[in-house]
């Protein structure tokens, strides 16, 4: 049986199952020009990070794999993944293709069609960029009438013995979100400036390629300041723990127009691409918490763990709620947590006439509007983030209205 491995720019985990499933002499395809890069205008920083990281990793992989095929991005691209695979298949005649579970449905569809058309077995491996598995989520959700992210998070805490004291949560509470909502006015000391990273020749050449291939994408590469190797990403994790972790919890939800990063970890791109392992991030944070004794507050640690083990692992779109004295706001957020798809609020011009007061009836109307949008986007299940509010009154009315109008939460 002839086999080939396929790696995309966001498959950079060192424990990627594709790498352990093929022999050192088997073809290993590193594929840069993902269809989505050309279909959507991705930020130039994201593109440089992913492509440069893949190119840096290739140098390391060459020590273990002798038959690497590297297909790079091009400006005038008129051949998609399907046709690239067909060209390789004619040459190599492989009948087994190893790939990590694609996060992009379009890629998965193309791979399945290719396999069926050419009688190639498609071996889809679990995505090691996540701690739990699809099977694990199915096990937890099997008997659930509604999918509340908080309870999945608690189940994972128990399953992996994270922040637990026996059967009870560390600190006596599962969730310290109420302590993580300080406004920027409470900030006494400004966060230290982020260290400037120096781009090497390979990253600079990648920048040139990105500017050439995606000139209309947003972003100024002069301000690019991201790690592009596993070792440098680890340094960024260490820097966060030592410099920003202490205040991460208190100001997790704070907004400052003068400082967009504040105490945020800025680790999501590394975790989502595979440059950092999510469990290692959690373990390192817990270790630092224990080592520094009382320096790191429990709300900072729990908040950091919840971002990774809770929201990121839930694998579903997230509904985040905020309420003021006069209005209620709802954001629909992607499963990866890096994009707000839609914001709906009682303060919008087109809803002010319908939502005449900030009460339970008003929340029900907003819930119906949210449900209609979700169904239009074919989102039938969504995790409900109460943002620390108790599940009663307007919050409960909002959730029940969404559920009554056909969306499972």
Length of the chain: 409
Average confidence score pLDDT of the chain: 90
pLDDT value, residue 336: 57
CATH code, 134-191+244-313: 1.25.40.80
226: left (phi over 0), alpha (psi -120 to 50) or beta: beta
For residue range 225-249, list pLDDT tens digits in order.
Answer: 999 999 999 999 999 999 999 999 9
Write the DSSP symbol of residue 310. I
The residues spanned by each domain of the chain are 3-125, 134-191+244-313, 318-404
Query: Stretch 186-209: mean pLDDT, rounded?
Result: 93
What's residue 325's pLDDT? 75
**pLDDT value of position 158:** 97
Query: Residue 338: its pLDDT value, please?
Result: 54
CATH fold of 318-404 = Nucleotidyltransferase; domain 5 (3.30.420)
> 263 Cβ partners below 8 Å, 6+ apart?
191, 244, 245, 247, 248, 250, 251, 252
- Name the CATH superfamily housing domain 3-125: HUPs (3.40.50.620)
pLDDT at 21 over 60: yes
Model confidence pLDDT, tens digit, residues 318-338: 788 887 777 888 888 876 555
Per residue in 144-166, pLDDT (tens digit) is 777 778 889 999 999 999 999 99
pLDDT 10s digits, 350-381:
887 777 667 888 899 999 999 999 888 878 77
């Amino acid at each position: 049986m002839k086999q080939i491995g396929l790696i995309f720019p966001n498959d950079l985990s060192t424990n990627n199952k594709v790498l352990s499933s093929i022999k050192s002499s088997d073809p290993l395809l590193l594929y840069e020009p993902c269809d989505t890069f050309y279909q959507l205008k991705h930020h130039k920083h994201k593109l440089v990070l992913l492509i440069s990281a893949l190119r840096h990793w290739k140098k390391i992989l060459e020590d273990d794999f002798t038959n690497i095929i590297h297909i790079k991005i091009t400006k005038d691209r008129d051949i998609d993944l399907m046709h690239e695979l067909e060209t390789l298949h004619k040459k190599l005649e492989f009948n087994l293709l190893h790939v990590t579970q694609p996060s992009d449905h379009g890629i998965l569809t193309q791979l399945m069609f290719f396999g069926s058309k050419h009688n190639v077995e498609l071996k889809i491996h679990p995505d090691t960029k996540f701690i739990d598995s699809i099977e694990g989520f199915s096990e937890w959700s099997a008997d659930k009438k509604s999918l509340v992210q908080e309870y999945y998070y608690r189940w994972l805490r128990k399953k992996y013995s994270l922040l637990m004291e026996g059967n009870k949560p560390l600190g006596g509470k599962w969730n310290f979100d109420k302590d993580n909502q300080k406004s920027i006015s409470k900030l006494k000391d400004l966060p230290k400036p982020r260290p400037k990273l120096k781009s090497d020749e390979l990253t600079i050449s990648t920048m040139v390629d990105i500017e050439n291939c995606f000139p209309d994408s947003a972003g100024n590469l002069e301000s690019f300041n991201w790690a592009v190797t596993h070792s440098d990403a680890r340094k960024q994790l260490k820097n966060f723990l030592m410099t920003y972790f202490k205040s991460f919890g208190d100001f997790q939800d704070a907004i400052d127009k003068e400082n967009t990063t504040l105490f945020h970890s800025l680790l999501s791109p590394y975790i989502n691409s595979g440059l950092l392992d999510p469990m290692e991030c959690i373990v390192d944070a817990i270790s630092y918490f224990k080592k520094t004794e009382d320096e790191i507050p429990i709300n900072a640690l729990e908040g950091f763990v919840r971002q990774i083990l809770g929201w990121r692992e839930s694998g579903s779109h997230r509904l985040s709620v905020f309420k003021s004295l006069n209005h209620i706001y709802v954001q629909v957020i992607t499963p990866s947590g890096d994009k707000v798809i839609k914001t709906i609020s009682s303060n919008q011009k087109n809803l002010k006439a319908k939502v005449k007061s900030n009460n339970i009836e008003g929340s029900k109307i907003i819930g119906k509007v949210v449900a209609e949008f979700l169904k239009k986007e074919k989102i039938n299940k969504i995790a409900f983030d109460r943002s620390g509010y108790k599940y009663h009154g307007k919050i409960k009315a909002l959730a029940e209205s969404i559920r009554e109008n056909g969306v499972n939460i």
